[in-house]
Structure 1
Amino acid sequence: MVKQERAARTRETLIRSAAEVFDRDGFCSASLTAISSIAGVSNGALYFHFASKSALADAVEAAALTRLLAVTRAELPAGASHVQLLIDVTHHLADALRGDVVLRAGFALSGELSRPARVVLRDHWRCWVEEALERAEMEGEFRTEVAAQDVVTAVVAATVGFEVLSMQDAMWLSATAVSRFWRLLLPTVVPAALLVDLEVGGT
């Protein structure tokens, strides 16, 4: 049991260390020696857990998906709108991307062209946004001339854009940047009667 616990801790340490190196250097330039060094283990120990750099990247993506699912698992509070829930979750996601290197690396790996992604986090995010906005449309939270899919396009493009741009400037994941987006978008999609109750900075 002790050996199993130690092995599990080593594996988690390697995943986080790999995420740090992938986040800093990119997948192609990432060195397994650098990863094992940060993790404080030998190269042999690394290969015991992961046969290749691609296997490590797969593990980082899987761990990042777990974190993304935790962000999107938020439940609708009593009396709240689905649009407000979406606003809140976009803020939670931006905050998580700023502070969680595993989640951040997982998103970056999803867009890495030099390897086939096992878990495409951006697709998971798009699917969640679609479901949230379809529920909002069913509840009559949009202006009559607005279709849910149009809002999906805007929200996914903006939020994924923030995630990509943040690789060079973390300001794109700030609460201010996310709030500015919602302040601009909401009047075009939400009736005025509902707009007054929405908090662009999240609840």
Structure 2
Amino acid sequence: MLRRPWVGPLAFVVLAFVAFSLPPYLTGDRAAARVQSDWGPHYALLVVHVVFASVAILACVLQVWPWFRGRYPVWHRRVGRVYVWGGVLPAGVSGWIIGYMTPFGPVAWSSNVLMATLWLLFTWLGWRAARRREFRDHRKWMIRSFALTVSIISNRIWGAVAFIVLDGRIPEEDVQNTIAGISTWMGWVVPLLIAQWWLERKPKRKTAPAVQRETVNV
């Protein structure tokens, strides 16, 4: 962990986010849900989505930790199965349905449906690559899947920023849908672009130590 200083802060943020977001959906109290809808099955699907998305986001912290992958490859595979089948699959399918029935307008609808589709697709492609032992492709697809898994945290940040910027500047009846549209799109597009940049970046070439260079020159 010391050689990967981002692991600790990532784990802390994810744990704090889950500790804040999950409990209201474990009470069975429909009024405690942070998203309300008149559509009958909405609450049940929302609970399914939040619970299994929490499994996915907790599992993915271990999956992207290089020390854990290298030290415990068997557990990496086991946690990976939990991430795919006990996290992303049920959370993605329920999220797709919830996104399709969103009460926040067509901008949020299109974002939620596309994001859920890509989340399921990237995860499946990563799982398939691992089954084929194409580990380089597996890593790339799972990094993209990871970006979409943690994008819910980014979504909340963009929502707060949009509220601060737009409060009092647009009609009150449009605020909720506008903020939802901005936060849903920015929430997952920005992390996915960062992940793609990370995959395409050129690593720095290691230079030989000065003593070794002098020896070669001699």
What TM-score do you get using the length of structure 1 for normalisation? 0.32
What TM-score do you get using the length of structure 2 for normalisation? 0.31
Larger gyration radius, structure 1 or structure 2: 2
Larger relative CO (CA 8 A, sep 6+): 1 or 2? 1
